[in-house]
Chains A and B, each alone.
Chain A
Amino acid sequence: MKYVSYLNELFRDEISKLDEFVLYGQNVSTGSCLGGLTRGLQRINGCNVFNTPNTENTLVGIGFGLMLGGTPSAFFMKQQDFLLLGIDHLRNTNNFIRQQAPSTSFTIVNITMDAGYEGIQSSLNNLPDFCAIASCEGYTISSKLEARSIIGQCFAKPGFRIISVSQRLFGTEILDFEAHISQADDFVMKYHQGADVTIACFNFSLPQGEKLCDQLSQLGVEASLYSITAAHPVIYKSIVEDAKKTGRLVIIDDSKCYTSVSNLLEIEMLRAGVSAICNIKRKMTEQSYRPLSEEFNVDVNDVVQQLNLLN
């Protein structure tokens, strides 16, 4: 099943369980319905759908107002970039609401425009930055397990959070690791067990991590593969324990955050005495401020060399 269809199915399941739910946003019931993300959700009994005008600041505030009134809601947003216009509410209104111990949910589901060539103002890929400003929970979804875990556990939970999904993955078959998976810590998924190196994937980099894991296996190097789906709060305990055993860590982070949460894992590992760390991130150069493919590749040879894996 395609990534977007699977997400849509899970959203439908969760919304069906709720009374008086409000789903709103721009184009949520017209055109492609956000590339299929909200297709069919408007036909769920009890779901109130509002196809809204382009007023992102107010739309974020509306979700918090609905919480005050005791009505659960989700604001589906075409681009993560648009969320910049609602940042006052993410921080200031959320600061008020969180003190009221809200009994209902407000979830913003945004699409990270990481498929490429969107240009400098439509390619924000910075969920952890929003979570840092808002001090709120935030999650990314890359696989079936992550989709089930995050949408099932968080989408309708009382309180506020942001769930980010990847446009690059929309048309791809959703990653399915059913044979190997286990949940390590809260919202940290372990997809493979290996004794030689630990791979920690942040943001939407699980596909790159999976590919690296396979390539290393072909070279006789067995890796533990983790995906950290929470941008905040992040719990690294199981990864740290695993990396202490393998003695080597690869961090992969395809976000565009300068001060990424993945850096915190690197610091934690150094404290734990593991210094063989390969931290792979996007390199932001002058070229990055032009329309680009946004491709994010991991070179297995670089990893092998940096961590001296074949000796």
Chain B
Amino acid sequence: MFNIPVHLALGHEAISEAVAAAMRSDDKLLCSHRNIHYQLSRGASLFEILEEFKLSDKGLAKGKGGSMNLTNPQGSIVYTSSILGNNLCVGVGVALSKRIKQEEGVVFVVTGDGAMEEGAFYEAIENSRNMDLPLIIVVENNNWSLASRIEDRRKSIYLDQLTSSLGARYTFLEGNNPIQYYREIVAVRDRVNLQKIPEVLEVRLNTLGGWMLQTEDFPDGKYVNYHAGLSPKVSLGNGPVLNYDESDPVYLIKDSLGECEFERLSESTRHFFSDYLTA
């Protein structure tokens, strides 16, 4: 269906919804290659996104952005990059422009536990602190970089100590509760906007949709996460809940919405896909 690579963000919904809701009209958002959740949270429709993935002129960026470099200025998503750490540097520039023009608002840059290993992460905090910029770096820590877990590739990085050593602030979120995330992010956003001290917001989450691949090479099965490139077969009857526990923000939101409203929304999404695929 798509010629372009697609990066899903199942399990990342709580943080994207909370960031999107906490953003004010003057705020800007810069994302990574995995940006579909922020696109949806910032108002893009599923139809526009799927059309974009098909590189159609009905797409969100009229088929010019694809998935990994998709932006949506109307939703204040001004830049996305498929290069790890790249958007951090650009985000510092966008925040500096705000300072020079004396504009209100903050700049959110989304990165991950893989990209924070790049030198650009350190450099972005250093420069934004030196220039007193309203920058919030959201680290989506899903413990994966491609097919490597953190423990497969490095020792622990203590982000609280790293950011503190550079004079920046640090906040940690976990639990996948979007309401709680929203409240915390609003506080972070207002603090950064007022004091112009950059802040790193680390959120622990799980990228869902992993599955057991069974081949001749792996007769007992091999765990495959989305980063490995393969995706599981799904049917429209599944979802949107993938895990019936706290690892899945969609499962958690059921309590807030109530069973009826949740089922109504789920059914409407299933219908959309059904109609879209048969159109």
Interface residues of A (CB under 8 A from B): 20, 22, 48, 50, 52-53, 55, 57-71, 88-89, 92-93, 96, 99
User: Cβ of B97 and Cβ of A66 under 8 Å apart?
Assistant: yes
Chain B residues 109 to 128 lying within 8 A of chain A, measured CB to CB, are 119-120, 123-124, 126-127
Given the contacts A68-B79, A96-B69, A62 and B92 also touching, CB distance less than 8 Å: yes
Known: A53-B127, A57-B123. Is A65-B97 also a contact (CB below 8 A)?
yes
Q: How far is the CA of A70 from the CA of B99 in the complex (A)?
A: 12
Contacts of A62 in B (CB 8 A): 89-90, 92-93, 96, 127
CA of A63 to CA of B100, assembled, Å: 13
A107 to chain B, nearest CB (A): 14
A69 to B131, CA, bound (A): 16
Write out the residue numbers on chain A whose beta carbons fall within 8 Å of the beta carbon of B96: 22, 62, 65-66, 69, 71
Residue on B nearest A86 in the bound complex, by CB: B89
Q: Say yes or no: A69 contacts B86, CB within 8 Å.
A: no
Q: With A57-B120, A61-B90, A65-B93 given, is the CB distance from A88 to B127 under 8 Å?
A: no
Residues of A within 8 A of B69 (CB): 96
Report how far A59 CA is from B91 CA in the complex, Å. Answer: 11
Question: CB < 8 Å: which of B82, B94, B101, B124 contacts A58?
Answer: B124
Render B76-91 as a binary contact track against A, CB cut-off 8 A, 1 for contact. 0011011100101111
Contact A88 B92 (CB under 8 A): no
B86 touches A93 (CB 8 A): yes
Q: Does B7 reach chain A (CB closer than 8 Å)?
A: no
Contact A53 B130 (CB under 8 A): yes
CA distance A68 to B73 in the complex (A): 11
- Cross-interface CB contact of A61 among B78, B93, B126, B130, cutoff 8 Å: B93
Nearest-neighbour CB distance to chain B for A170, whole angstroms, equals 28
Knowing A55-B126, A62-B127, A96-B69 touch, does A68 contact B81 (C-beta < 8 A)?
Answer: no
Contacts of B98 on A, CB cut-off 8 Å?
Answer: 69
Measured between alpha carbons, how far is A173 from B92 in the docked complex, in Å? 39
CB distance from A95 to the nearest CB of B (A): 8
Instruction: List 5 A-B pairs, Cβ < 8 Å.
Output: A52-B127, A58-B92, A61-B89, A65-B92, A89-B89
Known contacts A53-B130, A55-B123, A92-B86; A71/B100 CB under 8 A: yes
A/B pair count, beta carbons within 8 Å? 99
| B227: Cβ under 8 A from any A Cβ | no
Is B191 part of the contact surface with A, judged by Cβ < 8 Å?
no
Taking the complex as formed, is B64 at the interface, i.e. its CB lies under 8 A from any CB of chain A?
A: yes
Residue ID in chain B nearest A91 by CB atoms: B83
A contact face: mostly helix, strand, loop, or mixed: helix
Contacts of B86 in A (CB 8 A): 61, 88-89, 92-93
A67 to B92, CA, bound (A): 12
In the complex, A40 Cα to B187 Cα: how many Å?
42
Residue from the list B82, B93, B101, B120 in contact with A64, Cβ < 8 A? B93
Which residues of chain A are within 8 angstroms of B83 by Cβ–Cβ distance? 88, 92
For the complex formed, measure the closest distance between the CB of A303 and the CB atoms of chain B, giving whole angstroms: 47
A299 to chain B, nearest CB (A): 46
- Asked whether, in the complex, the Cβ of B94 is within 8 Å of the Cβ of A65, the reply is yes
Find chain A residues with CB under 8 A from B78 CB.
Answer: 68
Q: Is the CB of B100 within 8 A of A68?
A: no
CB-CB under 8 A from B89, the residues of chain A are 57-62, 65, 89, 93
Most chain A CB within 10 A, of B79, B123, B126, B131, is at B123
Q: Which residues of B contact A50 (CB under 8 A)?
A: 130-131
The answer to whether A53 and B126 have CB atoms under 8 Å apart is yes
Point out the residue from B88, B97, B126 that lies within 8 Å of A71, measured CB to CB: B97
Docked-complex contact A69 and B94, CB < 8 angstroms: yes
Q: Are B93 and A68 in contact (CB-based, < 8 A)?
A: yes
Closest to B95 in A: A65
Q: How far is the CB of B149 from chain A (nearest CB, A)?
A: 25
Q: Taking CB as reference atom, which chain A residue is nearest B73?
A: A100
Q: How far is the CA of A84 from the CA of B78 in the complex (A)?
A: 26
Instruction: Find B100's partner among A22, A59, A93, A99 (CB 8 Å cutoff).
Output: A22
Contact at A93–B120, with CB atoms within 8 Å? no
Q: Nearest A residue to B82 by beta-carbon distance?
A: A92
